[in-house]
Amino acid sequence: MAAVSDIGIDLGTSNVVIYARNRGIVLDEPAVVALERDSRVIRAIGMEAYRMIGRTPSGIVAMRPLREGAVADFELTSSMLHHFVVQVIGKRMFSRPRAVLSLPSGINENEKRNISAVMFEAGVRRTQLLDRPVAAAIGADMNINEVYGSMVVDIGAGMTDIAVLSTGRVVVSDAVKLGGDHFDDAIIRYLRRKYNLLVGERTAEELKIAIGGAMPRREQMYLDVTGRNLISGLPKLMRITSDEIFEAIDDPLTALIEAIHAVLEHTPAELAADVFDAGIMLTGGGAQLTGLADAITTALKVDCHVADNPQTCVATGCGRTLENLADYGRYLNDRR
């Protein structure tokens, strides 16, 4: 029988990523479930369900059960997690793998316990939890075991985790309900206010990724999008510029930088000095916003870097702890 692969899982507010020991990333899917509104029968999970967002036939809803960083619907969260885990490890009768899991910060103790039970039902022998910032830092190749302050900011869709670590422990941290979703929402609000144009979430995200930025683009870019004109009620095609998106996301961007600033302010002086020396590491999908590291560097006068493959850092960090229990095992938490 093939060796059982232990797994690291990032259960994010918009994506679930799984890292298999000695294999790397084996799953990266939207944390979306599509279900029948009345019967609540699940119709699709992951990518297939994501494609249904905003364009589901009547009677079917596609939703993100962890959207706000907390469990909006525990049953759906469980079904989704179960589905992805079984997809990766297969149906196992005898050799059960172990797992390290990183959850959104908004989850409560009771839910944590229940999630471990869900993992067991999916075939995992033992599930341990890893704090999201610690996982992100390990996945971003930061040297966290040293007596040295390092700062990591994991920017997800619904939440951002900001933490200063030393000797692998979180010294100061904050988890704010602010992430990629809030940038998308700001774009939707802006276009409605300015043009009476109503665009969907996916269009807003597309604008953010394609032409958005935390600094003005050196060369103006544009994207043609279709929305609904709120006056006529009819579809309308409009050309949106990068300057407009830059203006649109000013509020969430300022709030994000403020939140990082606040954590730095509460960091003990010695550790803060280390952070000023080594810089801030950005992880999470939201870290990929064009110019974000530059904007933070400019605002806070601290060097800021985006990790390689920021969106998979947390899952990689979870998986690496299982590959190297000698160095990282002590950061794992058990829930029974």
Ligand X SMILES: Nc1ncnc2c1ncn2[C@@H]1O[C@H](COP(=O)(O)OP(=O)(O)O)[C@@H](O)[C@H]1O
Chain contacts with ligand X (rule: CB under 6 A) = 12-15, 156-158, 179-181, 205, 208-209, 284-286, 288-289, 311
Query: Does 284 engage in binding with Mg ion (CB under 5 A)?
Result: yes
How far is it, in rounded angstroms, from Cα 134 to Cα 311? Answer: 15
How far is it, in rounded angstroms, from Cα 75 to Cα 111? Answer: 11
The distance of closest approach from Cβ of residue 305 to ligand X in the complex, given in angstroms and rounded to an integer, is 16
Which sign does the torsion angle of CA 272, 278, 279, 285 carry?
negative
The distance of closest approach from Cβ of residue 67 to Mg ion in the complex, given in angstroms and rounded to an integer, is 13
Query: Does 133 engage in binding with Mg ion (CB under 5 A)?
Result: no
How far is it, in rounded angstroms, from Cα 117 to Cα 163? Answer: 28
The distance of closest approach from Cβ of residue 230 to ligand X in the complex, given in angstroms and rounded to an integer, is 24
298: its two tokens: 């400019």
Q: Which listed residue (4, 7, 12, 212) binds Mg ion by CB under 5 A?
A: 12
Under 8 Å CB-to-CB from 220, ≥6 apart: which residues? 241, 242, 243
Taking CA atoms, 293 is separated from 177, 195, 289, 306, 333, in Å, by 20, 30, 9, 7, 31
Q: Residue 275, by phi and psi: left (phi above 0), alpha (psi -120 to 50) or beta? A: alpha
Residue number with CB closer to ligand X (132 or 320): 132
Give CA torsion, residues 151, 156, 159, 164, to 10 deg.
-10
Residue number of the CB closest to ligand X reads: 180
How many residues bind Mg ion (CB under 5 A)? The answer is 3
The distance of closest approach from Cβ of residue 274 to ligand X in the complex, given in angstroms and rounded to an integer, is 26
Which sign does the torsion angle of CA 310, 307, 72, 76 carry?
positive
162: its two tokens: 């900001």
Binding at 227: pick from Mg ion, ligand X, none (beta carbon under 5-8 Å per type):
none
Selected range binding Mg ion among 33-41, 42-50, 67-75, 283-291, rule: CB under 5 A: 283-291
Phi and psi dihedrals of 252, rounded to 5? -65, -35
Residue number with CB closer to Mg ion (102 or 242): 102
| DSSP state at residue 278 | H
Binding at 264: pick from ligand X, Mg ion, none (beta carbon under 5-8 Å per type):
none
Binding at 14: pick from ligand X, Mg ion, none (beta carbon under 5-8 Å per type):
ligand X
Query: Does 286 engage in binding with Mg ion (CB under 5 A)?
Result: no
Which sign does the torsion angle of CA 247, 252, 253, 257 carry?
positive
Binding at 286: pick from ligand X, Mg ion, none (beta carbon under 5-8 Å per type):
ligand X
Query: Does 319 engage in binding with Mg ion (CB under 5 A)?
Result: no
The distance of closest approach from Cβ of residue 333 to Mg ion in the complex, given in angstroms and rounded to an integer, is 19
Residue number with CB closer to ligand X (8 or 180): 180
Name the residue with tokens 């179960």: 82
Query: Does 69 engage in binding with Mg ion (CB under 5 A)?
Result: no
Binding at 181: pick from ligand X, Mg ion, none (beta carbon under 5-8 Å per type):
ligand X
Selected range binding Mg ion among 24-32, 169-177, 220-228, 278-286, rule: CB under 5 A: 278-286
Contact between 230 and 212 under an 8 Å Cβ cutoff? The reply is no
313: its two tokens: 């850092």
221: its two tokens: 């870019």
Query: Does 104 engage in binding with Mg ion (CB under 5 A)?
Result: no
The distance of closest approach from Cβ of residue 11 to ligand X in the complex, given in angstroms and rounded to an integer, is 8
Q: Which listed residue (104, 133, 156, 319) binds Mg ion by CB under 5 A?
A: 156
List residues near Mg ion by CB under 5 A.
Answer: 12, 156, 284
